[in-house]
Structures are given as C-alpha cells and as structure tokens.
Amino acid sequence: MTTTIGVFDSGAGGLSVLRELLKAIPDARYIYYSDNANCPYGDKSPEFVTQRACAIAELLMEKGAQLIVVACNTATAAAISTLRARYTIPFVGMEPAVKPAALGTESGVIGVLATAGTLKGSLYLDTKQKYTSDVKIIEGVGRGFVELVESGDLSSAKAEQICRTALQPLLDAGADRIVLGCTHYPFLLPTLKKLASGYNVTFIDPAPAVASRAAQLLGIQPAAGNEKAAQPQVELLSSGDIGPLKRNYLLI
Ligand code: DGL
C-alpha cells in the first residue's frame, strides 16, 4: 500500500522540504497544505500557530496521512510537542541546523536567519545552548522574506534590498556558515548567494536531514538516486490563495 505523507507550512515555503521528501521517498503519496490565509506565522502568537497546526494535522489525517512533516520552523517551534502529545501518528519537525553549522565553521562565527517566532522558541534556544558554547552566533530575522516568496518575487532589486538588510550584518560579523532557519528562505538562495559572493560563506538548509528522518520513521531506506519520481503523487491544498503554491511548486 502506498504511504501517505502530509506536509504543511504557513505558505509555499515548505515546498523546499517537499522537494527533498520527493527525492528521499519518491513512491509516497503527498498531501501538501499551505495555510496561506494565515501567512505569515512569524510574528503570530504560539497559541494561534498551535491551534492552526492542530486543525491542519486533523485535516491531513482525515485525508489519510500516516506521517506528518511540519515543514515550517515557526510551527515546529510553537506546536511540535502538542502535536506529538495529542495524536498517535509520527510528526517530523524542522530542526534548526545549528549543530552542523557549529561543527563546520572555521571563522568561529555562525549566522542564523529565521523568523522571530523560531528565534524565541525553546527548541532553538536549547539547540543553541547545546552546540554553540565555543562559537559566536549572530541572528537575523528575514523581515519580508516570506512575503517575497509568496508573491513570487525572488530576485528583483527590491528582493535584493530586503535580503541584504537581513544578511549583511551576518556577513559583516564574519559568519562563514549561515543556517536557513525558515523553509521559505531556500527559495531566495540564488539572491542570497549573489549578495554573499566575495564572502567565504556556506548556507545550510536542514531539509535533506528532515527528509531522511521521515524515511527512517517510516522504515524506508532513503532512495539513493536523489531523483524525483517521473510523476510524483502530490495534492496541493490551501486555506487561501492557491496561486503562490502552484507557482512555487513548479520551481521544485
Ligand atoms: N516557512 C516558515 C518557517 O519555516 C513560516 C514563516 C512564516 O510564516 O512567517 O518558519
């Protein structure tokens, strides 16, 4: 029987995680839910985000999801413990990739770009405390990044300006590893890399590790080919405008 995997985010950002899931577990059936009507989550209260996460998880389970990937760092920070306590199926959340950044840095300075909600959450604060005692960590909120991705503006002069505002302080501080702590941000990677050219910096996206974890929980050996299925089984759903989701789906 085909495994059904639910995936959700505040918007289209979680498609950067779906991209890796489709490579690791190409034979599964996917249902992706974008909470576009309530996007962005970044500055919303943890209570509100948890309430939305539970409602979406219930909908995905009704549609047959056997495992749910919370493809949103902000929703993971607010709701992962509640989801795991309340429902019996497994949930995979986003891990802030602070550990690989701390282990890989040569300059001793790492940067983290995320939403305000993620940076305030105990998951991030605990991870930071555990792995960064001997490195300096510089945090930046990607203000306006989610809106750029939802509107499909990934590389205009305006997009560059918004990205530069968040990125430059991290580069100026000497960060040589920058963690993308929001699933929308990988869509801006070409612009971020362009702005960081001339700096010795590597961007870290936790999505491949999250996809491997999902495969492990399902008892599936991640596919070696790193290729999507020729005709992936993906259902796209949205609480609001489905346009951004359909547009960004074509990019993965
Ligand atoms: N994709 C999101 C995350 O990973 C949500 C950002 C937002 O809605 O503010 O945090």
Question: With 80 as the cut, is the pLDDT of residue 157 above it?
Answer: yes
Question: What is the pairing mode between strands 91-92 and 67-70?
Answer: parallel
CATH number of the domain encompassing residue 39: 3.40.50.1860
CA-to-CA distance for 49 and 208, rounded, in angstroms?
Answer: 24
Ligand 1: lining residues by beta carbon, under 6 Å = 9-10, 13, 39-42, 72-74, 115, 118, 146, 182-184
CA 188 / ligand 1 centre spacing (Å): 13
CA-to-CA distance for 162 and 149, rounded, in angstroms?
Answer: 12
Known active-site residue 54: no
Q: Which of 39, 54, 163, 182 is catalytic?
A: 182
CA-to-CA distance for 60 and 68, rounded, in angstroms?
Answer: 8
Mark whether 211 and 89 lie in a shared domain: yes
223 — pLDDT class (breaks 50, 70, 90): confident
Between the alpha carbon of residue 154 and those of residues 118, 147, 151, 170, 185, the distances in Å are 22, 10, 8, 20, 10
Average pLDDT, the chain: 95
Q: Are 28 and 3 in contact (CB under 8 A)?
A: yes
Give the amino acid at 207.
A
CA-to-CA distance for 61 and 66, rounded, in angstroms?
Answer: 7
Mark whether 136 and 172 lie in a shared domain: yes
Give the amino acid at 40.
P
Mark whether 68 and 11 lie in a shared domain: yes
How do residues 59-72 score in pLDDT, each as one tens digit? 999 999 999 999 99
In the numeric block, the tokens 């989610």 are attached to 146
Sort 115 into a burial class: Cβ within 10 Å, 0-12 / 13-18 / 19+. Answer: buried
CB atoms within 10 A of CB 48: 12
Mark whether 40 and 111 lie in a shared domain: no
Mark whether 189 and 211 lie in a shared domain: no
| pTM for the structure as a whole | 0.95
Mark whether 211 and 200 lie in a shared domain: no
Mark whether 28 and 120 lie in a shared domain: no
CA 1 / ligand 1 centre spacing (Å): 32
Q: Supply the pLDDT for residue 181.
A: 96
CA 75 / ligand 1 centre spacing (Å): 7
Torsion of CA 138, 141, 143, 145, to 10 degrees: 90
Mark whether 79 and 127 lie in a shared domain: no
Cis peptide before 40 (omega within 30 of 0): yes
Number of domains in the chain: 2
Q: Supply the pLDDT for residue 132.
A: 80
Q: Supply the pLDDT for residue 31.
A: 98
CA-to-CA distance for 206 and 41, rounded, in angstroms?
Answer: 19
Short-list 180, 149, 205, 182, CA closest to 72: 182
First to last CA, the chain: 26
- Among 187, 204, 221, which residue terminates a domain? 204
Question: With 80 as the cut, is the pLDDT of residue 229 above it?
Answer: no
Q: Which domain holds residue 199?
A: 98-204
Known active-site residue 72: yes
Mark whether 17 and 140 lie in a shared domain: no
Question: With 90 as the cut, is the pLDDT of residue 131 above it?
Answer: no
